[in-house]
Amino acid sequence: MAIFLRESDINGLASMDTAIDAVERAFRLQGEEKAHIAPRRRCRMEKGMLHLMSASLPPLGYAGLKSYTSVSGANRFVVLLYEGDGRLAAVMEADRLGQLRTGAASAVATRFMAREDASRLGVFGAGGQARAQIEAICAVRPITEVTVYSRTADRLKEFCRETAEATGIGVVPAGSPEAAVRGQDIVVTATTSAEPVFKGEWLAAGTHINAVGSNFLTRREIDGETVRRSACVIVDSLEQARMECGDLALAAREEAFYWEDARELGLVVVGEFPGREDAAEITLFESQGVALEDVALAAEIYKRALEAGTGEKLPF
């Protein structure tokens, strides 16, 4: 019998370390060509959008889909997880799950692409996704200081205070976008911006970038110079990136980037493509967010729920 898991259940069953392990396992299967992803599709609603994406991980015995709505500024997420025999295993509220898996994808990219001694992190954005990014990256690199920039200045100080308390690491507000980039070892963009949030000329040699907000062709968090300077451009799914990555699509239009040079994260995880060849390289991970990540983490949460006896039984 299928079970229903609420946000409170997810919080009790899944940690960032859990998410990183699950997501890395999923990308390893992608690199081995043992996973399948159906890119996100969007349907217009009267006051917003319905989004649908799916994936299967046959070696793990699970498949699933995530659907969510964006209406009047509110997002509502749900994941349906299926077992290999086709039976519905679980229905999950998926706001926290989504934050965890997006953070975990950046952590996996950071583990394989950032310098091992990277200790300074610059972040754009002051929402739930930005906090999950900080939590995830701190789990895989020895971060000692985080600098955060947000256009919402009144929210920024509170975000820095709360995140510092949660991580035990110094988190300070940046007075300008440039302050969040200059001298940083890792830069994260977790915004909904339609325009680049920093200039590529500000990046120091050896910086790794996780760009997680540009999943519409009309959104652009990073400029063409950032892409042009990147020796390595990695995406979570080439098919989905071509459909919705504004950062890369617009850079390609400016001839600062060629799609033939991009590779999927799975190939980096299995060692078929290097995430970094030199300490001075600038590297870029473009994260659109794929259902592969949702299904992998949902499967782990489901197994833990069964062990803990957590979840409400559904009548089908």
Of 126, 62, 113, give the one whose Cα is nearest residue 295: 62
Residue 91 near residue 104 (C-beta atoms within 8 A): no
What's the rounded Cα separation, in Å, for the pair 42 and 19?
A: 26
Instruction: Write out 186-206 in H/E/C secondary structure.
Output: EEEECCCCCCCCCCHHHCCCC
Catalytic member of 34, 66, 157, 199: 66
Reduced to 3 states (helix: H, G, I; strand: E, B; else coil), residue 251 is helix
- The answer to whether residue 66 is catalytic is yes
CA distances from 36 to 2, 39, 246, 295 (A): 23, 10, 23, 11
What's the rounded Cα separation, in Å, for the pair 218 and 9?
A: 35
Residue 288, both tokens: 């659109």
Residue 307 near residue 86 (C-beta atoms within 8 A): no
Of 162, 212, 205, 168, give the one whose Cα is nearest residue 188: 212
Which residues participate in catalysis according to the annotation? 66
